[in-house]
Amino acid sequence: MNAQMNPRSFIKHRKVTSLVTEPSPLAGFSLGETLGGTGLILLGMIYVGQDMPGARGALDWTKKKLEQPKKTTQQLLTGIGIAGLAYRAYMN
């Protein structure tokens, strides 16, 4: 069998090289650099809106400032966070 008939023979003899010269903690992926400050804030809004562990204090503070029920505040934070991240992804 030649390589055209057997795709595994191509992969078997292929030389694999790394894309980076120095390994980094997450293979070159930095959340802060990728999303930027605004992206991290939007991601935090989603985190608080979904009532994740440790977010109860921020949710209560936001609820008091907006003078809205907890459920409305959660939906608002989640919606703004998702819409903002979608907009940033669309613009890039």
**Residues 75-87 pLDDT 10s:** 999 999 999 999 9
Model confidence band, residue 9 (pLDDT cutoffs 50, 70, 90): low
In a domain, 74, yes or no: yes
In a domain, 6, yes or no: no
pLDDT higher than threshold 90 for residue 47? yes
**What is the rounded distance in angstroms from the CA atom of residue 75 to the CA atom of residue 10?**
51
What the block records as the tokens of 9 is: 């023979």
pLDDT value, residue 82? 94
- Which residue do the tokens 């940033």 mark? 88
Q: What is the mean pLDDT of the chain?
A: 80
Structural domain harbouring 57: 32-92
The number of folded domains in the chain is 1
Report how far apart, in Å, the C-alpha atoms of 65 and of each of 33, 46, 49, 61, 62 are: 31, 18, 15, 6, 5
In a domain, 27, yes or no: no
